[in-house]
Amino acid sequence: MTTHIQTSASGLTDDRPSASGLIVDRRELLAGAAALGLSTAFAGPALAADTPKKGGTLRLGMQGGSASDSLDPRTYADSIPIAYSCALWNLLVEIDAKGNATGELAESWEAKPGAVEWIFHLRKGVHFTSGKEFDADDAIYSINLHRGDTKSPAKDVLSPITDIKKIDASTLSITLSGGNADLPFVLSDYHLLMFPAGTTDFSKPDGTGAFTLETWEPGVRVVLKRKAGDYWKPGRGNFDFVEIRYIIDAAARTQALMTGQVDAVNRLDPKTTNLVMKNPNINVVRSRGTGNRYAFVAHRDTKPYDNADVMLGLKYGIDRQKIVDTVFSGFASLGNDHLIGPTNKYFATDLPQRPFDPDKAAFHFKKAGFSGPFDLEVSEGAYAGATDSAVLYQEALKKSGATLNVKRVSGDGYWSNVWLKSAFCAVYWGSRPTADLQLSQAFLSTAAWNDTNWKREDFDKIIIAARAELDDAKRKQMYIDAQKMISDDGGMICFAVSDYLDGYSKKVKGAEPHARYDLNDERIAEKGWFA
């Protein structure tokens, strides 16, 4: 387990002939040499002489935060808090560009057979800003912030942990209630930052990260200052200052980037991305198929969605390609009614993509004896483009003789008032680091966020068994079976998996696509440098 990530190991391709803006594509990167061969013209200069150098102020224009943002890790839910927190602190485990778990403050780990008991070896010689050396007590304290009686959103993923013990100052043992081969991925959750043991006041950050907090004005800006001396990760932490500007309006963000008022932005509007790419000073980084999964979810225990034929009609009746092309301007992959993204290694490639087939949909509606009206509740508060997607869905369903009423509701309070309560509504699911988290959080009978009320014992069994399965081939087959069950029988119409779209000034280096989040896993502050 090495921590240093090969920042130059990425392939750079441009598969959009019209664009002079550079597009970096992760899927083709995974495809290996063939893809690289096709794109040497672009890959050559970008790969050459990419040695990080120090200095400069990175100005980031970001969406995904508000004046209510806090420094308390138990409240994080959006991009900006993730971005500043991982510049100030570190996690035990980091996710590399390809989606593997690599060590951060944990140097290495091993699982006892059955993957119930785990040993983590912590990195020695890493110090907090206050000068204290990071050790096992800190790690235990920090993880326990999210266990037991806590408000933390990470409580759910940590619930299988039954015990955390210190073996010595730099060794930790974690015991689970059942086997889970993915524990390192669980520990890469962005909430699980490492604090000095006993920290209760998070407003005065004392972290092991590359930066210290210079200005804290949530909703306006956050300024980070590089710590003196060498950062413990070689080649990282290069900018003297990083200034995160809150720019919530997508058009304002794009404009700020194009006119050079910021050096990088997240969440480009897919509709204008093609136009942004025409700007010769801008580098658009596209992380394909790692973004949000956009879906409409129906409660399988509620009429008429308890009828399997109604569900199939709704699934065949949606024109996914049209939505991807118009609402997301092609910057998305087709969804196949489950949540595993096309770049995940357990993605069910042999599960055929569900086509748009109005006749088949009409057949199923007829068999069910019901073709609407269906009431679909949507909101831009669920995700940008939900309303437009629903309107196109409504149009497409007309072709199979079904009626859909699109009911737009307030984005304000959507997650507490509509989602999980409405029988048919819009939802997005973020990318999770593992197939297990991705599926179990949404589809297990016992899951708190099972938004389709779909409950099947045989499915639960597969997921639990796959967790502890260490034979990768067997494990893959289990996940494929699980995906098939959800796709055929579940209540989710997942029609698109979006791409992350970052915009960078060409002078920003280290701007790569990442398997998990945008802006290089929200770590561009730590990973980037100026040419």
Partner 1 sequence: MLKLIATRAILGLATLFAVSVLIFVCTQFLPGDVAAAVLQQSATKETLAAFRRELGLDVPAYIRFFDWLWRALHGDLGVALTNGRVIIDVIRPRFANTMFLAGYAAIISVPLSVGLGIVAAINEGRPIDRISNIITLMTISVPEFFVGYVLIAIFTVELGLFPSLATVDSDTGFFDRIYATTLPALTLTLLVAAHMLRMTRTSVLSVMSSPYIEMAFLKGLTRSRVVAHHALPNAAAPIITVVALNLAYLVVGVVVVEAVFTYPGIGQLMVDAVTKRDVPVIQACGLVFAAVFVGLNTIADILAILVNPRLKYRR
Partner 2 sequence: MKIFGHKPPFTAWLGMTIVTVNLLVALFGPLLTPYGESQSAGGTWDPPSVAMWLGADQIGRDILTRLIYGARMTIGVALVTTVLSFLMGITTGFLAAVLGGWVDQLLSRLVDIILSIPLLIFALIILGVFGPTIPVLILTIAFLDSTRVFRLARALAMNLSVLEFVEAARLRGEGIWWIMRREILPNASAPLFSEFGLRFCFNFLFVAALSFLGLGIQPPYADWGGMVKDNAAAISFGIFAPIWPALAISLMTVGVNLVVDWLLSIEARPSGAQAEL
Question: What binding mask, one character per residue, do residues 232-261 give for partner 2 by CB under 8 A, x or -?
Answer: ------------------xx--xx------
Distance of CA 292 to the CA centre of its chain: 7
Residues between 252 and 311 that touch partner 2 (CB under 8 A): 254-255, 269, 271-272, 275
Reduce the DSSP state of residue 411 to 3 states and report it.
Answer: coil
Helical (H) or strand (E) element with 508: strand 508-509
Interacting partner of 169 out of partner 1, partner 2, none (Cβ under 5 to 8 A depending on kind): none
Please answer whether residues 273 and 332 qualify as being in contact, where contact means their C-beta atoms are separated by less than 8 angstroms: no
At residue 514, φ and ψ (nearest 5 deg) are -135, 150
Per DSSP, helices labelled H in 411-450 are: 414-417, 435-443
> Binding of partner 1 at residue 258 (CB under 8 A)?
yes
Distance of CA 500 to the CA centre of its chain: 9
The one segment of 110-118, 257-265, 281-289, 310-318 that binds partner 1 by CB under 8 A: 257-265
As measured in angstroms, the least distance from the Cβ of 312 to partner 2 is: 24
HSE-CB of 308 using CA atoms within 13 angstroms? 6
Rounded CA separation 408/372 (Å): 18
**Looking at 410, 430, 461, 531, which residue binds partner 2 (CB under 8 A)?**
410
Cβ-in-10-Å burial (0-12, 13-18, 19+) of 309 comes to: middle
> Binding of partner 2 at residue 498 (CB under 8 A)?
no
Residues between 32 and 71 that touch partner 1 (CB under 8 A): 61, 66-71
> Binding of partner 2 at residue 326 (CB under 8 A)?
yes
Interacting partner of 329 out of partner 2, partner 1, none (Cβ under 5 to 8 A depending on kind): partner 2
Using the minimum distance from each CB to partner 2, give the nearer residue, 350 or 412.
412
Using the minimum distance from each CB to partner 2, give the nearer residue, 77 or 275.
275
Residues between 183 and 222 that touch partner 1 (CB under 8 A): 203, 217-221
**Looking at 2, 130, 200, 259, which residue binds partner 1 (CB under 8 A)?**
259
Using the minimum distance from each CB to partner 2, give the nearer residue, 192 or 268.
268
The beta-strand segments (E) located in 169-311 are: 171-176, 211-217, 221-226, 241-246, 264-265, 282-287, 293-298
> Buried (b) or exposed (e) across 269-282, using 16+ Cβ within 10 A?
bbbbbbebbebeeb
| Neighbouring-strand partners of residue 93 | 103
The DSSP output letter for 134 is: P
Rounded CA separation 495/335 (Å): 4
Question: What binding mask, one character per residue, do residues 355-394 give for partner 1 by CB under 8 A, x or -?
Answer: ----------------------------------------
As measured in angstroms, the least distance from the Cβ of 126 to partner 1 is: 28
CA 342, 176, 168: angle at the middle one, nearest 5? 115
> Binding of partner 2 at residue 333 (CB under 8 A)?
no
The beta-strand segments (E) located in 63-202 are: 93-95, 101-103, 106-111, 117-122, 161-168, 171-176
> Binding of partner 1 at residue 456 (CB under 8 A)?
no
| Parallel/antiparallel/unpaired status of strands 374-378 and 404-408 | parallel
Per DSSP, helices labelled H in 189-302 are: 250-258, 270-276
As measured in angstroms, the least distance from the Cβ of 154 to partner 2 is: 29
Using the minimum distance from each CB to partner 2, give the nearer residue, 177 or 281.
281
> Binding of partner 1 at residue 250 (CB under 8 A)?
no
Interacting partner of 247 out of partner 1, partner 2, none (Cβ under 5 to 8 A depending on kind): partner 1
**Looking at 201, 350, 412, 458, which residue binds partner 2 (CB under 8 A)?**
412
Distance of CA 53 to the CA centre of its chain: 29
Residues between 395 and 424 that touch partner 1 (CB under 8 A): 412-413, 415-417, 419
Which amino acid is present at 420? L
> Binding of partner 1 at residue 329 (CB under 8 A)?
no
> Binding of partner 2 at residue 411 (CB under 8 A)?
yes
How many residues bind partner 2 (CB under 8 A)? The answer is 31
> Binding of partner 1 at residue 248 (CB under 8 A)?
yes
As measured in angstroms, the least distance from the Cβ of 428 to partner 1 is: 8
Distance of CA 224 to the CA centre of its chain: 24
**Looking at 360, 408, 484, 506, which residue binds partner 2 (CB under 8 A)?**
408
**Looking at 8, 307, 329, 477, which residue binds partner 2 (CB under 8 A)?**
329
Rounded CA separation 219/196 (Å): 27
Residues of this chain that bind partner 1 (CB under 8 A): 61, 66-72, 75, 77, 149-153, 155-156, 203, 217-221, 245-249, 251-252, 255-256, 258-259, 261-262, 412-413, 415-417, 419, 448-449
Residues of this chain that bind partner 2 (CB under 8 A): 250-251, 254-255, 269, 271-272, 275, 322, 325-327, 329, 379-381, 387-388, 390-392, 394-395, 406-413
